Amino acid sequence: MADLITDIDVLEHTHTHEASCEVKTTPNNLQVGQRKLYIESYGCQMNFSDSEIVASIMNINGFGTTSSPEDADLIFLNTCAIRDKAEQTVRNRLVHLNAMKKKKPTLMIGVLGCMAERLKTKLLEEEKVVDLVVGPDAYRDLPRLVSEVDNGDRAVNVILSREETYADITPVRLNSNGITAFISIMRGCDNMCSFCVVPFTRGRERSRDPQSIVQEAKDLFAQGYKEVTLLGQNVDSYKWGGTEDKKETEKAEKEGKEVINFANLLEMVALVSPELRVRFSTSHPKDITDEVLYTMAKYENICKYIHLPVQSGNTRVLELMNRTYTREWYINRIDAIRRILGEDCGISSDMITGFCTETEEEHKDTLTLMEYVKYDFSYMFFYSERPGTLAARKFADDIPDDVKKRRLNEVIALQTQHSAERNRRDMGKIHKVLVEGASKRSEDFLQGRNSANKVVVFPRKNYQKGQYVNVLVKEATAATLIGEIID
């Protein structure tokens, strides 16, 4: 992801085909005699959140964390399988780690997460590049699996669950700035998008007890955190009817029993404190309701920013993708956001170019939709076929790579233009910004984000991270807003 600096000419928050993974390492958190755990996380925010759960489970079982892989006794790679490039990045990392293991034979290497779930025993038995493989729903079993490896065996658990939410696990905040934190509100996905492996690697959808979510938010606020992001593959479909089982919750709802939906949960978290900002990700166009939007409008501390992936601007392609909405439906949701939350609400998207059978005219439909919406930023990729998905089984990946990349470059160019245009609208306005720390370019400047999730850079003066400041924006690039604090 791009640095948050003022002279950058690529889009912050924009992923391209050359940048689809992020790496996060664990901080030092050791006591004398403890074995040392090092974690790297790749891919989505859910993986980063899961790594914090893993660190907590391992900490309870005698492992501290270290920021140095060379010092570690146990290394976990928490992996992403959404694109082939993400998997190749992990494979290349495993080559490096196995070279380290030759010098330190006691080093234990494990692959966690979506890639572990997808490849299962192949990594253990065929390639023999890891000691243990653990899927996203089996992290409670890690201590036992590590013991198996200690006894000379290789270990695997990739069993998916319909109930596991880790609601009772207090995450260890890794590489935290002490200001912002993730809270996982649900796991799994029931949306069978034809291009996506997530339903196969993370299992069916289940929601977490809302009281545990609210308590986690309260605990974070008491520790000095000022912003939480509620995470789920599809947060809008969150529902709690007294059980993690989605079918039982839907049955309770039909019987007229009280069910807490996502709008209700948003309000519950917002009421923890007006000083605690609330964000969420990710929304699905088929599920985001006016009720959610009106709840956002009601509370100043619910940030006015929505990530609403469209994937394609053409209805036929959306149908092939099994997105279950049309171009017209998506535009209706955009219109509702603008009507209820105003023109300044930040909107971002995901887009895929070169999906199976996509014509040039259908690609242009994506460009015209972008012109209609004018996203603040986007995550943009060309189509990467994933084994086991519906698209891989039913459709030929028939768009040449050079066409995919050319179309992607057209999308990126237009998004760059729109990001700059949207940011210029913010010039001359005062923005409430939560200070997150020093600017990446200079210690003389601080940076934070406004409600619309845009990065704002301003002179440090005597301000500290965790404070709210009012910043008058005087300059803007496609990536960053630059201004001065107004007392």
**Residue 441's pLDDT is what?**
85
Closest CA to 434 of 422, 412, 415, 451: 451
Region of 224 on the Ramachandran plot (φ > 0 left; ψ -120 to 50 alpha; else beta):
left
Q: What is the torsional sign of CA 195, 200, 202, 208? A: positive
**In what side-by-side order are the strands of the sheet with 305-307?**
305-307, 346-353, 377-382
**Residue 135's pLDDT is what?**
92
Domain boundaries, the chain: 35-157, 180-424
Q: Is 366 helix (H, G, I), strand (E, B) or coil?
A: helix
180-424: CATH homologous superfamily? tm_1862 like domain (3.80.30.20)
**Residue 398's pLDDT is what?**
97
**Residue 29's pLDDT is what?**
52
**Residue 31's pLDDT is what?**
56
**Residue 12's pLDDT is what?**
31
pTM: 0.88
Contact yes or no for 198/80 (Cβ under 8 A)? no
* Helix and strand numbers, DSSP H then E, in the chain: 14, 21
**Residue 3's pLDDT is what?**
27
**Residue 86's pLDDT is what?**
82
Tokens of 74: 């146990």
pLDDT values of the chain reduced to their tens digit, one per residue, 487 residues: 222 222 222 233 333 333 334 444 555 555 555 799 999 998 888 888 999 999 999 999 999 999 899 999 999 999 888 778 888 889 999 999 999 999 999 999 999 998 888 888 788 776 788 999 999 999 999 999 999 999 999 999 999 888 889 999 988 888 788 999 999 999 999 999 999 988 888 889 999 999 999 999 999 999 999 999 999 999 999 999 988 877 888 888 888 888 999 999 999 999 999 999 999 999 999 999 999 999 999 999 999 999 999 999 999 999 999 999 999 999 999 999 999 999 999 999 999 999 999 999 999 999 999 999 999 999 999 999 998 899 999 999 999 999 999 999 999 999 999 999 999 999 999 999 999 999 988 889 999 999 999 999 999 999 999 999 999 999 999 999 999 999 7
Architecture of domain 35-157: 3-Layer(aba) Sandwich (3.40)
